[in-house]
Chain A
Amino acid sequence: MATSRVNDFTIKIATVNGTGSASANTLLMKSIFRSGVPVMGKNFFPSNIQGLPTWYEIRVSRDGHVARSGKVEMMVALNPETYARDVREVASGGYLLYDCTWPRPALLSRSDITVLGVPLAQMCNEHFNGVRTRILMKNICYAGVLAALLSLDLERIRGLLAETYAKKPQLVESNMKAIQLGYEYARQHFACPLPISVEPMDRTAGHIMIDGNTAAALGCVFAGATVAAWYPITPSTSLMDAFKGFCERLRIDPETGARRFAFIQAEDELAAIGMVLGASWNGARSFTATSGPGISLMNEFLGLAYYAEVPAVVFDIQRVGPSTGMPTRTQQGDLMACAYASHGDTRHVCLYPANPEECFYMARDAFDLAERLQTPVLVLSDLDIGMNDWMCPDLEWDDAYRPDRGKVLGLDEILKLEKFQRYVDKDGDGIPYRTFPGVHPKAAYFTRGSGHTQFGTYTEDSADYQAVLDRLLRKWETIKQRVPRPLVDGAGGEIGIVSLGSGDSAIQEALAVLRGRGVAVDYLRVRAFPFGEEVERFLAAHRLLFVVEQNRDAQLRSLLTLETAVEKAKLRSLLHYSGLPVSSSFIVEGVLAEIERSAAHPRDIAHA
């Protein structure tokens, strides 16, 4: 490697799932984070419990880039089954670390990389007893090797182990022994540290490492959600697990031991969304989390919630479709399915968090919006955000916050009414007033998905039916004013990128690279559906727009063409749908190639 890559490189660790490598990988990532160096970890795991290939990518970036770079400088190849492709993936000038207990001369076929062999299995067999222990320790051992190669602080690692195994101190010693074995071996056999190494910085203060599902669950706790109903589905399950975990610590009545939350594992997603609607209709903040297949099943109830105006919060942690697809890989494939979920004229508020920090705040906003607007709010995260650890600024909470319950009439207001009318637009914003059961007989109304008048009674009269449907459209206009606004970076250029969600970090890095090369590119990140005026303005102001998204069918581009006045020909798609998170280099290359192409054929842009 020609230039030093201190605090600027990617390690990829190839192992077999179910062998304890996750602990080693977290240990490595956290020890880098605690050195004050920005770091990101991405887990590419199989839909399987044990025995299939799994990879973990750690990006170390002194500049704070937390997307995949698209390059791997150090490959830890511990899975013979994937050796061939793992070796191929190492960047020229990079390193490959492998277990040389069984020498693999074929691995040395690449002359442009450095192969480092460590007899991990042999060392662990000599020092540990029991098959399972030996396998687990082999994986901790490579963390020791990397600690030496990358110059990681052993005391910091010991500290992390002590925290992890606070309840089982004997494990700290055995793990540390494995770390030491690897560490010593590397020090004796290789020139440590390598040019790719970690030097302490001070760039992680005020930050945490957290995954989006945990952050979203925290947001639900702080928003005051009390009823959580769901059916297990990867990659959303950890959101519900985290919510339950937080509530079991924070929501137990100290005197009675009662749990101030209801946590319901439903029989399926059809029931999960029904429970959310029932609870929400009855005055509790309620939510569910699911993924694509669950959204498909929830469609009918989502239509009822839209039409009967029942608040609901649904987290869609998107995974690869169609159908079962690849359940443990990431995608943004549910954009259309969520925006227009259900039959008939339906449309839904969607929020698009880009990272765990936004998952936290948007979870809170989702409840306020759902109750204020009396409609379902879908929060579209994805597996990359939801299940990977991201570095993000400390989450903050304003103690003055109180839930916005929207237009709910209490007993005093009901008593003053002559008559309660559920769907009458009293304020001209399209949002009617609602009441909760059990308050007063005068406030009772009938909630139904069948045709209803503005008074809530059954109807098959065209004019009465249309009056309600048209009022819902007026509400949609109000909604546009209230959803999170897009974020815009740069202005006045001719070329722009439009995107949403988890591609943000890769785009941020790509923008830096492009601007560094003199290519001026503006950027708008959509954060909610429906789109507002700012999106319209940005689209109108740019000559060429790249729509970056992680699906095959350009779903964001479709939504933009359907819902805004943008000229379709201006929109160029950069589509990444392999199931892995999009990398910055993919975007840089895509933008440059298109600019080059249109420079060669300038008429294309005007007349495409």
Chain B
Amino acid sequence: MTFIAKPKVAHPSLPRNALGFTRRDYEGALSTLCAGCGHDSITAAIVEACWGLSLEPQNLVKLSGIGCSSKTTAYFVSGGHGFNAVHGRMPSIATGANAANRRLSYIGVSGDGDTLSIGLGQFCHAIRRNLDMLYLIENNGVYGLTKGQFSASADIGTRAKKGETNLQPPIDPVLLALDLGATFVARSFSGDKRQLVPLIEAGLRHRGFALIDVLSPCVTFNDHEGSTKSYAYTREHYERTVLADFVPREREITVEYAAGETREVTLHDGSRIVLRKLETDYDPTDRAAAAAKVQQRMGEGEHLTGLIYLDASGERPEFHQVSGTPEEPINSLPYEALSPGSKGLAKILDRYR
């Protein structure tokens, strides 16, 4: 942990995005996490993705709960408002914030403790509401700030640093999200920036609830032998199934793909995701098959990663469509559009005489 202020100087040769910003313009405060923490790599991927999307920094709203993961929202895009909620209750803050202004981009960063234990209910209900947000879990299977207790994502048989073996089955956020009807479900690894950055870009642009469960090893409490969420284990048992390339609306597809292995999906704003299947029999638009595949690989001790499921059809209404709210943000409606005035009141009172 350091209290050194981070200098805000960008080298003139740094590349600039459509808004003229360099990557440095999307950074935040200096991280206070342990050296080598997977979460810092994810922070870097978020910075890269926001820069790549040419996002106006003030249009990104950063939300989090409590825990190591939840601290990270302070470490990127300092030009966007952040809300560090109470433990496990970031989704409700996100729901209210999104209700007030649907025009902004919402990114929630949570951990496996924050999401799968204390916040499990709110996580499920945000999915059920199909809240338009990117929900990112920095999943390390362990409670860091309280020093090494198992979390609900710990696999059976995984060993704690102090030697204890976990005997309870994990709650898998990917399976849960698939079951609850999420329209964008992905898993990735903090050490695979190439896979993670386009997923974050696509997740931010996806309309509706997008989940990315990112395996993010804890170097201090869960990086030893016997842990199924260590760097070594993850690298060894890590399987990419569908790679997603994100192509913003304004850009051409320049990469050439071999015929038959790709599939293009257009998002509501005209952006496209090019899905590259690494296994020919995998269909990322078949929810039941996706769930079956995840479950099968989990049983084999493997981490299936990639854009596991995507429904960009817009058939499942997102929160605002269900609520019937107007296109303009509700927080910008003029008072005159909200109050019936004294004449309106007189009419209302007549019903109570």
Which residues of A does B touch, CB under 8 Å?
A: 33-34, 208-210, 214, 218, 221-222, 224, 226-227, 229, 246, 250-251, 253, 256-264, 266-268, 270-284, 286, 300-301, 304, 394-399, 401-403, 435-450, 457-458
Contacts and interface: CB of A to CB of B under 8 A. Distances in A.
Contact of B92 (A251, A278, A395, A435): A278
A272 B104 CA distance: 21
A210 B350 CA distance: 11
Contacts of A267: 121-122, 124-125
A283 B93 contact: no
Given A34-B353, A271-B125, A278 B326 contact: no
A395 B84 contact: no
Contact of A449 (B86, B103, B353): B86
A446 B71 CA distance: 11
Contacts of B323: 259, 262-264
29 contacts: A222-B340, A226-B333, A227-B330, A229-B96, A256-B326, A260-B326, A262-B99, A262-B325, A267-B125, A270-B89, A271-B95, A271-B121, A271-B122, A274-B85, A274-B92, A274-B93, A274-B122, A278-B93, A278-B94, A278-B96, A278-B99, A279-B331, A280-B100, A282-B97, A397-B339, A438-B81, A446-B73, A448-B84, A449-B86
B301 interface: no
Contacts of A246: 348
B331 A397 contact: no
B79 interface: yes
Contact of B335 (A266, A300, A403): A403
Contacts, number: 221
Contacts of A273: 92
A518 B330 CA distance: 58
Contacts of A268: 121
B9 to A, nearest CB: 17
A277 B56 CA distance: 24
Contact of A226 (B56, B59, B338): B338
A412 to B, nearest CB: 15
Contacts of B306: none
B14 interface: no
B349 interface: yes
Contacts of B124: 267
A447 B92 contact: no
Contact of A208 (B56, B78, B332, B353): B353
A437 B79 CA distance: 10
Contacts of B325: 258-262
Counting from the closest, the 10 A-B pairs by CB-CB distance are A274-B92, A278-B96, A441-B79, A284-B100, A275-B96, A279-B96, A258-B326, A437-B81, A283-B331, A282-B100
Interface string B7-43: 0000000000000000000000100000000000000
B226 interface: no
A346 to B, nearest CB: 13
Contacts of A437: 58, 61, 80-81, 97, 101, 104
Contact of B331 (A208, A282, A442): A282
B97 to A, nearest CB: 4
Contacts of A395: 345, 349
Contacts of A442: 79
Given A222-B340, A437-B80, A284 B89 contact: no
